[in-house]
């Protein structure tokens, strides 16, 4: 009969991480130039495909209630069976329309980066239309999102998904002979953790736009994406912010008018729930791109653009559905952070060249994404107050990776 043993956690035993040494110029040279070419016609075909799919799904959904409420159907399925089937059909519509809408949002995201077309007017007109339709202030978000890409994984300058520190959570530093009861600070019940995770999935993006939730903590308290005078924007960008606000104001009118004309319940069923799924998928995708116990964050001189770009992870997100409906936005995100103006349809081939050059510095995960979401939400709690190369710690204060010795802040070592 075997003896059960528990291996003691040791920071020294963790895999050591050395930040990437190459320049962006060296990495760029490893990617063939043909993958940086933007094809406006090809992009428009993808957009047209998405719009046609959305229209087809919407059209099919108009038949759901009449079909399952008719007498013949209720006689065949029984009234209860017909009702169950009716809501199951709505569930199928919501699932696929939510994915289609998210793909349309991704097209707007491409436009914001200038990756959709060589023509700025095409990018901005199409980006404004697609993002406004999905309640995203196009120009305002484009500005802050550009800053996120320019400073990704920098503790001081990144715009979103900035890790909390020990100090932020009022957790004392580790000290020899002193044991910290992490449950006192982080010991939520699974039910409460699930509630907080669902809240994040449904409300995090509006909360970020309105209140800078999960954004850079050094910004003023009322920082948001709708104030033209916000610290997020320069004086020259004010008119773009106002234009974004006009777009959102139009959506307020359009949805209000639609509710009064077609009924609030119909607006929620056809448009509201698929839009809510866009928020869910967008937050889930971006959270899992940037939040993993294996990914580093940097302070000070150890950060540079290419190290920040590599501090994200490609994921097998919903398999073929993620690739088809979401335009590979989750499958090939690392190359996007290195070269944001590269069109999404070149991502698969360009990623192969990137992997061949940066090797182990390329991060990929094929874990089921809902399992990965739960694990990352529980394991990525905080980073240390000190140190220039940082990794998330879990609810026990433990990491799964450590900086190489020359980058370690020995004073925070946990045994």
Q: Do 213 and 207 meet the contact criterion of CB atoms below 8 Å apart?
A: yes
Q: How many Å apart are CA 153 and CA 311, to the nearest integer?
A: 7
Beta bridge partners of 383: 165
pLDDT at residue 2 is higher than 50: no
Crossing angle for the helix pair 120-133 and 238-262, nearest 10 degrees?
40
pLDDT of residue 410: 55
Q: Report pLDDT digits (tens) over 350-364.
A: 999 999 999 999 999
- As a residue count, the chain comes to 415
Going by C-alpha positions, the residue among 217, 222, 225 that lies closest to residue 156 is 217
Q: What is the DSSP string of 353-366?
A: HHHHHHGGGS-EE-
Is a pLDDT exceeding 90 seen at residue 1?
A: no
In whole angstroms, give the CA distance from residue 146 to residue 163: 19
Q: Are 296 and 163 contacting, i.e. CB atoms less than 8 angstroms apart?
A: no
Cα 298 from Cα 153, distance rounded (Å): 6
Q: What is the pLDDT of residue 3?
A: 47
> With b meaning 16 or more CB within 10 Å and e meaning fewer, what string describes 96-106?
bbbbbbbbbbb
Q: What does the pLDDT look like over 78-121, one tens digit per residue?
A: 999 999 999 999 999 999 999 999 999 999 999 999 999 999 99
Using CA atoms, how far residue 31 sits from 26, 36, 331, in Å, is: 9, 9, 18
Bridge partner residues of 175 (DSSP): 178
171 Cβ contact list (under 8 Å, min separation 6): 180, 182, 185, 186, 382, 397
pLDDT 10s digits, 9-46: 899 999 999 999 999 999 999 999 999 999 999 999 99
Residue 360, pLDDT score: 96
User: For residue 139, is pLDDT > 90?
Assistant: yes
Cβ proximity of 158 and 317 under 8 Å: no
Judge whether residue 188 has pLDDT over 90.
no
- In the 8-state DSSP scheme, what is residue 17? E
CB atoms closer than 10 angstroms to residue 121: 8
Q: How far apart are CA 392 and CA 296, in angstroms?
A: 8
Beta bridge partners of 307: none
Q: What gap in Å lies between CA 292 and CA 314, rounded to an integer?
A: 11
Q: Does residue 413 surpass a pLDDT of 50?
A: no
pLDDT, tens digit (0-9, with 9 covering 90-100), for 214-273: 888 889 989 999 999 999 999 999 999 999 999 999 999 999 999 999 999 999 999 999
Mean pLDDT over the full length of the chain: 94
């Amino acid at each position: 009969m075997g003896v059960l043993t528990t291996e003691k956690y040791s920071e020294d035993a963790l895999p050591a991480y050395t930040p990437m040494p190459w320049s962006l110029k060296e990495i760029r040279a490893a990617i063939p130039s043909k993958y940086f070419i933007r094809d406006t016609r090809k992009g428009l075909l993808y957009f047209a495909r998405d719009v046609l799919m959305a229209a087809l799904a919407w059209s099919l959904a108009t038949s759901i209630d009449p079909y399952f409420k008719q007498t013949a159907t209720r006689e065949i399925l029984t009234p209860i069976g017909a009702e169950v089937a009716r809501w199951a059909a709505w569930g199928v519509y919501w699932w696929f329309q939510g994915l289609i809408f998210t793909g349309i949002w991704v097209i707007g995201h491409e436009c914001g980066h200038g990756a959709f077309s060589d023509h700025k007017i095409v990018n901005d007109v199409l980006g404004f239309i697609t993002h406004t339709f999905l309640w995203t202030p196009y120009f305002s978000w484009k500005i802050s999102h550009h800053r996120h890409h320019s400073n990704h994984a920098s503790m001081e300058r990144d715009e979103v998904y900035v890790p909390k520190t020990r100090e932020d959570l009022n957790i004392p530093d580790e000290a020899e002979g002193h044991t910290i009861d992490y449950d006192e600070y982080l010991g939520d019940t699974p039910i409460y953790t699930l509630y907080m995770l669902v809240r994040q999935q449904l409300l995090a993006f509006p909360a970020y736009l309105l209140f800078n939730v999960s954004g850079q903590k050094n910004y003023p308290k009322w920082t948001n994406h709708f104030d033209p005078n916000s610290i997020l924007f320069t004086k020259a960008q004010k008119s773009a912010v106002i234009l974004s606000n006009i777009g959102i104001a139009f959506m307020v009118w359009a949805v209000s008018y639609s509710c009064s004309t077609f009924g609030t319940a119909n607006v929620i069923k056809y448009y509201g729930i698929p839009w809510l799924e866009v928020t869910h998928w967008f937050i889930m995708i971006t959270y899992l791109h940037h939040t993993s116990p294996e990914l580093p964050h940097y302070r000070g001189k150890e950060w540079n653009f290419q190290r920040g770009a590599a501090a994200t992870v490609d994921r097998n997100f919903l398999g073929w559905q993620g690739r088809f409906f979401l335009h590979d936005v989750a499958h090939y995100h690392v190359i996007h952070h290195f070269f944001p103006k590269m069109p999404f349809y070149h991502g698969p081939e360009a990623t192969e060249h990137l992997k061949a050059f940066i090797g182990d510095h390329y991060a990929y995960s094929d874990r089921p994404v809902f399992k990965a979401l739960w694990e990352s939400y529980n394991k990525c709690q905080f980073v240390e107050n000190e140190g220039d190369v940082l990794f998330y710690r879990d609810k026990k204060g433990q990491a799964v990776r450590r900086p190489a010795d020359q980058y370690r802040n020995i004073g925070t070592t946990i045994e």
